Amino acid sequence: MPPIQPGQDPVALFEAHRAEIRRQKLWINLLLLGGFVAMLLWSIDVSRFWPDRLAAGVPRIFEYFGSVLPSFQWDLLFETRNAEGRFPPGSIGFWYNDFWKYLALIWETILMAITATLIATALSVVLSFLAARNLTPAPWVSTAARRFLEFCRGVPEILFALIFVFAVGIGPLAGILAITIHATGALGKLFAEVNENASMKPVDGLTAVGGTWAQRMRYGVLPQVLPNFTSYALWRFEINVRASAVVGFVGAGGIGAELNHVISFYSDDRVTAVLLLVVLTVTAIDLMSERARHALIGKEALK
Amino acid sequence: MTALSFADITDDDVRAVRQSHPQAFGDPVMRMVRIASWTIVIGYLLYSFHLFEFAKIFDSSERAWRLVSRIFYWQDMASWHYDQIYVGIAQTVAMAFLGTFLGTIFALGIGFLAAKNTMPFGVIRHAVRRLLDVFRGIDGVVWGLVFVRAVGLGPLAGVLAIWISDVGNLSKLYSEAIENIDRKQVEGVRATGADPARIIRYGYLPQIFPVFLSLSLYSFESSTRSATILGLVGAGGVGMIIIERFRAGMFDQVAFVVLNILIVIAVIDWGSGLIRKRFIGERGH
Amino acid sequence: MLEFRKLTKEFNAKRAVSEVTLDIPPGQMVGIIGRSGAGKSTLLRMINRLNDATSGQLLHDGRDVTALKGRELRQWRNECAMVFQQFNLVGRLNVLTNVMSGRLFHHGFGTSMLGLFSAHERAFAVRALDRLGMAHVALQQTDTLSGGQQQRVAIARALVQEPKILLADEPIASLDPLNAKIVMDALRAINVEDGLTVVCNLHTLDTARHYCDRIIGMQDGRVVFDGTAAQLTDRMAREIYGAEAAEAFNEALTSTSLGRASIRDVADATRAQARATV
């Protein structure tokens, strides 16, 4: 704001200045809006999100969801197996004919997630100490560790799963390895940020004692960051459960393969049967882990 | 008691200290708990290594080597059909953008339905929240496949998949942001005698807008990542190219495509950082 | 014998410590005084190599400390324990573990990562705490203690290192007068009873005069005074402190001091205090 000259009306000056700022802001905002609209139109065109396709597609969505919903007959709902050992159509038993098979696969999915989370946590603890700029034994180690973590979390799990299915064959091992690598990248970055916020005073203290680098990390830093690490690991576990339910799409174990098979080949109530089980599992694990996290750190400390 | 050296500590000293400060030697119960929990964790890991046949890793060296060498050794780069690759990437970004945009619009309404302070009817709130749980509980790829079954192969299924995931995620985050609103600011505006429209404009919006914008920008970035893999199930975008060339063993091209996607995502990250800075200020969210 | 030979430290072309040449014989209690930024802290931290010298040498019993590396460096650090202004303990660990961490140099990778300390080490750590009257809080989480208590825990950690030299970097600057006295009494007692060399940065003149055999005055990275308390005239001291003279003279925390106490008195006093509060 220019200094007020004698004889000038300060109110008028203020108004003029304000108007100028508003004009500038308006132009930039209009420009951004223009860019936004252009981007929107472009993406509508590129993804072929055209009205005629929508008009044809949307009814089919409702049709499809109508066909995959279970059709219950209320009088048969809790009917058990009949003489031929089958559930009558319209009962819950018919809907969940393959319940035990699904349950076994969900169990495998959860175990995959637990194993991957444990290994990823262990790896990322070590990597995070190397990557944290304030703790790293040498600057180039930090840079190398950071690039490595970026790579790990940059590539989606399912791509890693594709690669590992090729390398170690179809089965849960490929999925575990894929999730482990991706989760290591994500957790390693978060852990490194926690490390960078840790107080260096205890570390100095342990240097003065004559401790090795590992000892300084173990005694000087780990006690400070452990609650945060645990909370992040639990949070990652929730994500890993979702991931391990999906890696089966490319043959990497868990419920995913069944999910893929059911959705691709049937359009009946089996689709909702599997999906519902997956949703229930994921939600239940979310709830439990959220409880644990809140118990670990006050509710506020977590974003 | 004067100067003392470690070498002078005898078993008798240990016994004496054990007597006077028994806790200093560790609580035996806690020690058992600690040992037990480590045993469980390590035992579980060993069991799962066995269950999931981790030994297969060591049998795979030949295939893994072939894969890795192809990833790093790029050949015949002239015949890679770059046009397909870049059209695929553009389609992926477009799908993500459109899906996030539609998701944001829906979440704007649903977020208010799921927030405690704006939706007084518990029944509706809980129903909305459970629906959102379903949207979020099913991964984007699964939604992709579902929509491919419903509307056929192509990017439309991808947009719908991103849209539904984003509605689930954003609505929940929006509703949390609405619940975390600072009531004092609203009361301050109300105290000036403002009408409801102005209360929303000056009391709520300045608090909510930056958070919403920031969440949607972040969502765009993460949707671009998920849009990449939607093609694996035929829901459009560059993923279709990835899976096609992967199946054909052209790992070098897959690596090239992934590298390009990572760059695009980095650019989006940078761009959304700029926008965030402009509308929200340095502190971000 | 600790010999400084033209020891110099530069930070971005600015000299923090400039060609310091000194001899410190074993068993001496040395106080380094000077205003803030005079280079006291840097000098002290160069002794245990928390800061590396830019040029010059530091010899201990003929061994070149400035050239030590790896395990030998850690061994040297283990031999010259340090006490910090902010205590630099691990707040989330209990007191005993903090003290036992003074033995980490003697541990291999495995036992230290698993946190396995022997019964002898535990007994030794308790004895060291007891010497400072702190054994009753051995299992308390360290950051629940007061500053004075934490500093005594830090001294106990230094003691279990069984050092030859004890460095104290402004050990009482964050403490109230009573705790400052307890800590200084403890340092002096260790010096007398264990025969340790104690090198101590002090901001206040009276403390240095009261406790130290020898006072070194620093100004702009140089040693400008080196002698006994009696040799340090008021005029000299005013010159060393410059603009901060008033502060340094007024913070006469030990002006009401009751004379030097033995470490046992310190321990007894705090034990009595602890009993009274229980």
Q: Are residues A105 and A45 in the same domain?
A: no
- Two tokens at B86? 């870049």
Contacts by C49-54 with C-beta closer than 8 Å and gap 24+? C49/C73, C49/C76, C49/C77, C50/A204, C50/A207, C50/A208, C50/C82, C51/C9, C52/C9, C53/C7, C53/C8, C53/C9, C53/C17, C54/C8, C54/C9, C54/C10
Q: Which residues of B touch A177 (CB under 8 A)?
A: 57
Q: What is the pLDDT of residue A290?
A: 85
- The residue-averaged pLDDT of A31-55 equals 88
Output the domain CATH number for residue A284. 1.10.3720.10
pLDDT of residue C155: 92
Going by C-beta distance under 8 Å and a sequence separation of 6 or more, which residues neighbour residue B18? B24, B25, C119, C123
Chain B within 8 Å of A250 (Cβ-Cβ)? yes
* pLDDT tier at A117, thresholds 50, 70, 90: very high
Q: Where are the alpha helices (DSSP H) in A71-98?
A: 92-95
Its domain, for residue A16, covers 10-62
Number of folded domains that form chain A = 2
Task: Judge whether A285 lies within some domain.
Answer: yes
The answer to whether the Cβ–Cβ distance between B146 and A162 falls below 8 Å is no
What's the confidence (pLDDT) of residue A125? Answer: 95
Do A123 and A28 share a structural domain? no
The alpha helices in A69-171, defined as continuous H runs, are: 92-95, 99-131, 139-154, 157-168
In tens, the pLDDT along B168-222 reads 999 999 998 888 888 888 888 888 888 888 887 888 888 888 888 888 998 998 8
Give B8's DSSP letter: G
Give the model's confidence band at A154: pLDDT under 50 very low, under 70 low, under 90 confident, else very high.
Answer: confident
Q: What is the pLDDT of residue C266?
A: 62
Answer left, alpha or beta for residue C163, where phi above 0 means left and psi between -120 and 50 means alpha.
beta
Tell me if A138 is assigned to some domain: yes
CB contact under 8 A, C104 and A202: no
Given this structure, which CATH class describes domain B72-280?
mainly alpha
C23 contacts: CB under 8 Å, gap ≥ 6: C1, C2, C3, C4
**Token duo for residue C233:** 């005239």
For B23, the closest of C130, C131, C139 (CB atoms) is C139
Single out the residue of B186, B27, B158 nearest to residue B99, CA to CA.
Answer: B158
CB contact under 8 A, C123 and B14: yes
A246 has a chain B CB within 8 A of its CB? yes
DSSP assignment, residue C2?
E
**Whether the predicted pLDDT of B284 surpasses 50:** no
User: Does B137 score more than 50 pLDDT?
Assistant: yes
* pLDDT for residue A302: 40
Distance CA B10, CA C41 (A): 39
Where are the alpha helices (H) located in chain A, listed in sequence order? 10-46, 51-68, 92-95, 99-131, 139-154, 157-168, 172-196, 201-209, 213-215, 222-244, 256-265, 269-296
Average pLDDT of the residues of chain B? 86
Instruction: Answer yes or no: do C103 and B6 touch at CB < 8 A.
Output: yes
Q: What is the ipTM of this complex?
A: 0.84
Same domain, A99 and A175: yes
| Residue B285 banded pLDDT, cuts 50, 70, 90 | very low
Nearest to B223 by CA among B101, B123, B47: B101
Intervals of chain C under pLDDT 70: 243, 245-278
Q: Are residues A57 and A100 in the same domain?
A: no
Out of A204, A224, A226, the one facing C88 most closely (by C-beta) is A204
Q: What is the pLDDT of residue A99?
A: 83
- CA-nearest residue of chain A to B258? A155
Same-domain pairing of A34 and A121: no
DSSP percent split of chain C into helix, strand, coil, nearest 5:
45, 20, 30
b/e per residue, C190-201, with b = 16+ CB within 10 A?
bbbbbebbbbbb
Alpha carbons within 13 A on the beta-carbon side of B13: 18
Contact check, Cβ <8 Å, B14/C127: no
Confidence of residue A219 (pLDDT cuts 50, 70, 90): very high
CB contact under 8 A, C123 and B2: no
Q: How far is CA A78 from the centre of its chain?
A: 38
- Which residues are CB-contacts of A125 (< 8 A; sequence separation ≥ 6)? A191, A229
Cβ–Cβ of B1/C125 closer than 8 Å? no
Interface probe with B: pick from A24, A47, A259, most Cβ of B within 10 Å: A47
Chain B residues near residue A64 by CB distance under 8 angstroms: 146, 149-150
A124 and A246 assigned to the same domain: yes
Q: Tell how far CA C20 is from the center of its chain.
A: 20
pLDDT at A29 over 60: yes
Beta bridge partners, C64, equal C59
Closest by Cβ to B3, choosing from C119, C126, C194: C194
Contacts of B236 in chain A (CB under 8 A): 47
Look-up of token digits 């140099």:
C105
pLDDT computed for residue A177 by the predictor: 94
**Cβ proximity of C95 and C137 under 8 Å:** yes
A268 and A182 within one domain = yes
Out of C90, C105, C167, whose CB is closest to A202?
C90
Domains in chain C: ranges and CATH: 2-91+146-269 (3.40.50.300)
Give residue for tokens 């430290």. Answer: C9
Residue A119 domain-assigned (yes or no) = yes
CA–CA gap between residue B48 and residue B222 (Å, rounded): 31
Q: Are residues A143 and A195 in the same domain?
A: yes
- The answer to whether residue A5 sits within a structural domain is no
A100 and A149 housed in the same domain: yes
Contacts of C131 in chain B (CB under 8 A): 1, 4
Does residue A82 fall inside a structural domain?
Answer: no
Q: What is the pLDDT of residue C228?
A: 87
Looking at this protein, which amino acid is placed at residue C95?
A: V
Residues A186 and A107 in one domain: yes
Structure tokens at A201: 């005073």
Q: Which two tokens stand for residue A270?
A: 């089996």
Phi, psi of B130 (to 5 degrees): -65, -40
Closest CA to B129 of B144, B116, B142, B147: B116
The pLDDT of residue C258: 42
pLDDT at B33: 92
Q: Residue C48: enclosing H or E segment and its boundaries?
A: none
Q: C-alpha A102: how far from its chain's center?
A: 23
A46 lies in the same domain as A180: no
Is A187 found in the same domain as A50?
no
B42 has a chain C CB within 8 A of its CB: no
